[in-house]
């Protein structure tokens, strides 16, 4: 494993204030939060959420921030209406949720279900919205916690998938998935993180070093797992880390999507 199994820290945190500006639309049989820049977009961001899903206010605000920086941003419902609510009681069983035991359709939240969602979003962005490979227009993947797994799984420019990846406090990532990436990857890591621990961070750095793709791992001291999307903005050190981690994503894509 390149990260430990998930825990309660994956759905605990603070809801942020703000009014999202995007829209929820249907792509295939699932919803997508779509937010557009003011000018025609030449580059896109596929934001792969944590387990709180595409309707979580914090995630929508971050998607809007990417759009305001010029990126057509897609954020799909990975869970077919079965996300985990913020601050769910501790008795909640994550493994049962992953297997789909808590929803009436028993839809699992595993790669066999989620990979096709990612693929369809990428296809939609490239065909309907014109982020075309042939025009050297590129799409970056952003993954928070749970979403990091799918940024890593789809980081393959040669196959017309994600051209560059950024993750914050990653979870659920298997070692073989990390070893298979084919493009640049940046990671915003929390010092106090039992999921992406010091041991797992060092293991990840070793693997990335062997692969030879452009990579960057920034460590934010004094903050916990979830800081980049669910951290308390009233605490200065957490808000600073959140903003800094977002700027890391912008700088990473400026270099590895736009090539400037």
Of the CA atoms within 13 Å of residue 35, those in its CB half-sphere come to: 25
CA distance 230 to 109: 21
The CA-CA-CA angle for residues 216, 251, 174, to 5°, reads 40
Provide the 3-class DSSP secondary structure of residue 61.
helix
Q: List the catalytic residue out of 54, 109, 154, 225.
A: 225
User: Burial level of 17, CB count in 10 A (0-12/13-18/19+)?
Assistant: exposed
CA distance 75 to 35: 9
Q: List the catalytic residue out of 145, 154, 163, 169.
A: 145
Q: Which parts of 104-165 fold into alpha helices (H)?
A: 111-127, 147-153
- For residue 145, indicate whether it is catalytic: yes
Residue 108: Cβ within 10 Å count: 18
Q: List the catalytic residue out of 10, 77, 193, 256.
A: 193
Do the bridges between strand 30-35 and strand 23-27 make them parallel or antiparallel, or are there none, so unpaired? Answer: antiparallel
Those residues whose C-beta lies under 8 Å from the C-beta of residue 135, and which sit 6 or more positions away, are 42
- For residue 193, indicate whether it is catalytic: yes
At what angle are helices 57-68 and 236-256 packed, to 10 degrees? 40
CA distance 97 to 99: 5
Catalytic residues: 145, 193, 225
């Amino acid at each position: 494993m390149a990260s430990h199994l998930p825990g309660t820290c994956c759905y605990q945190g603070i809801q942020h204030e703000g009014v999202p500006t995007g829209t929820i639309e249907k792509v295939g049989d699932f919803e997508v939060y779509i937010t557009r820049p003011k000018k025609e977009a030449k580059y896109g961001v596929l934001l792969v959420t944590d387990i709180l899903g595409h309707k979580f206010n914090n995630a929508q605000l971050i998607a809007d921030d990417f759009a305001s920086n010029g990126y057509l941003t897609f954020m799909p419902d990975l869970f077919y209406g079965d996300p985990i609510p913020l601050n769910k009681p501790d008795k909640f069983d994550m493994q049962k949720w992953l297997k789909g035991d808590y929803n009436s359709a028993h839809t699992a939240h595993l790669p066999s279900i989620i990979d096709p969602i990612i693929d369809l979003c990428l296809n939609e962005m490239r065909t309907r919205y014109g982020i075309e490979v042939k025009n050297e227009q590129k799409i970056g993947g952003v993954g928070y916690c749970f979403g990091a797994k799918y940024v890593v799984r789809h980081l393959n420019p040669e196959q017309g998938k994600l051209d560059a990846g950024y993750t914050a406090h990653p979870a659920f990532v298997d070692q073989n998935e990390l070893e298979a990436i084919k493009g640049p990857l940046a990671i915003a890591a929390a010092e106090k993180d039992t999921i992406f621990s010091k041991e797992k961070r060092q293991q990840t750095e070793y693997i990335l070093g062997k692969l030879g793709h452009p990579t960057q791992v920034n460590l934010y001291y004094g903050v916990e797992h979830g800081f980049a999307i669910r951290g308390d903005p009233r605490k200065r050190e957490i808000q600073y880390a959140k903003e800094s981690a977002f700027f890391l994503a912008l700088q990473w894509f400026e270099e590895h999507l736009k090539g400037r």
